[in-house]
Amino acid sequence: MPGRPYVLAETTWSVTRDTEYQVAVLPWGATEAHNLHLPYSTDAIETEALAIAAAKVAWEQGARVIVLPTIPLGVNTGQRDVKLCLNLNPSTQLAILRDVADVLEHQGIPRLVVFNGHGGNDFRQMIRELWPKYRLFLCTLNWYAAGEDEMFVHGGDHANEMETSLLQYLKPEWVLPLDQAGSGQARHFRVRALREGWAWAQRDWVRVTADTGVGDPSLATPAKGQQYFARLAAKIGGFLAELAATSLDDLYE
């Protein structure tokens, strides 16, 4: 059975040589502890699955999108003291992104979306640095900022109800029973501006949370995960299709 033509890891030269790809999508996750019940690969699993599902939506609308292999390492300087949380510094990410951009531009693929699924990654400054050097259109998308999450009762931003629901849907065999999860209770900055978010500092993870989670996962369900995933895939797929169809010489109204 042939692989999906919008997933580079599955497709072949016999397909790619004859396809005029309009958008490349680079999923970028992380490898880090996610409370006591989710796997270290949570961010990579979610990000790759959503990138592929969104590409399918766009492909079916006629956009020629290709999902590149997922990069599973992200910026985790705040988790250095959590065993086997792996860190990729922003300067290393920039070097990787530059190399990918070089080859895509050389091969004539005109657009690259850095598809981010980890809060510690921030590609905006990297794109600002690379922008003057390329004709290639570069943009970044944080999938977790694209969805309406009103179905989730509890907040938080790491191994919370939303992420747990997604993993229960995507990889249920890798999710431990919720009665084995930590509470996800987290401490907040004492300084008001840092607490309110209009000033920023890196969180020291081992001082913030006892179980590495930030957000109560107890009300997560696979049904919530499936519904949320479908909404995100449709919305992001629409974006990819629109981006593919928009002339790079006519981006502004």
- pLDDT tens digits along 91-119: 999 999 999 999 999 999 999 999 999 99
pLDDT attached to residue 155: 86
pLDDT tens per residue across span 16-28: 999 999 999 999 9
DSSP string of 129-163, one letter each residue: HHGGG-SSEEEEEEGGGSS--TT-SS--SBS-HHH
- Band (pLDDT 50/70/90 cuts) for residue 31 is very high
Q: 147 pLDDT exceeds 90?
A: no
- Which residue in this structure is represented by tokens 């290709």? 66
pLDDT for position 148 = 76
5 lies in some domain: no
209-235 mean pLDDT: 97
Question: Does 112 fall in a domain?
Answer: yes
Predicted local distance difference test score (pLDDT) of residue 196:
95
pLDDT at residue 4, as a whole number = 96
Whether the per-residue pLDDT at 194 is higher than 90: the answer is yes
Does residue 2 lie within any of the structural domains? no
DSSP code at position 226: H
Average pLDDT over the chain, rounded to whole?
96
Phi/psi-derived region of residue 159, left when phi > 0, alpha when psi is between -120 and 50, beta in every other case: left
pLDDT over 70 for what percent of the chain?
A: 100
Query: Which of 12-26, 85-99, 140-154, 162-176 comes out lowest in average pLDDT?
Result: 140-154
d(CA 144, CA 156): 12
> How many domains would you assign to the chain?
1
- pLDDT tens string 196-217: 999 999 999 999 999 999 999 9
Of 216, 221, 224, nearest to 181 by C-alpha is: 216
Whole-number Å distance between alpha carbons of 150 and 154 = 10
Q: Is 97 part of a structural domain of the chain?
A: yes
Q: What is the DSSP letter of 173?
A: G
CATH code of residue 134:
3.40.50.10310
Q: Residue 2 — pLDDT band, cuts 50, 70, 90?
A: confident
Task: Let me know if residue 7 belongs to a domain.
Answer: no
**Would you say residue 111 lies in a domain?**
yes
Question: Which residues constitute the domain of residue 133?
Answer: 13-245
Model confidence at 122, pLDDT cuts 50, 70, 90, reads very high
* 65-78 average pLDDT score: 98
Within-domain flag for 253: no
Looking at residue 44, its pLDDT comes to: 98
**Model pLDDT, residue 88:** 97
Asked whether residue 152 is domain-assigned, the answer is: yes
Sign of the CA dihedral running 201, 116, 91, 138: negative
| pLDDT at residue 161 greater than cutoff 80 | yes
Give the mean pLDDT of 129-143. 97
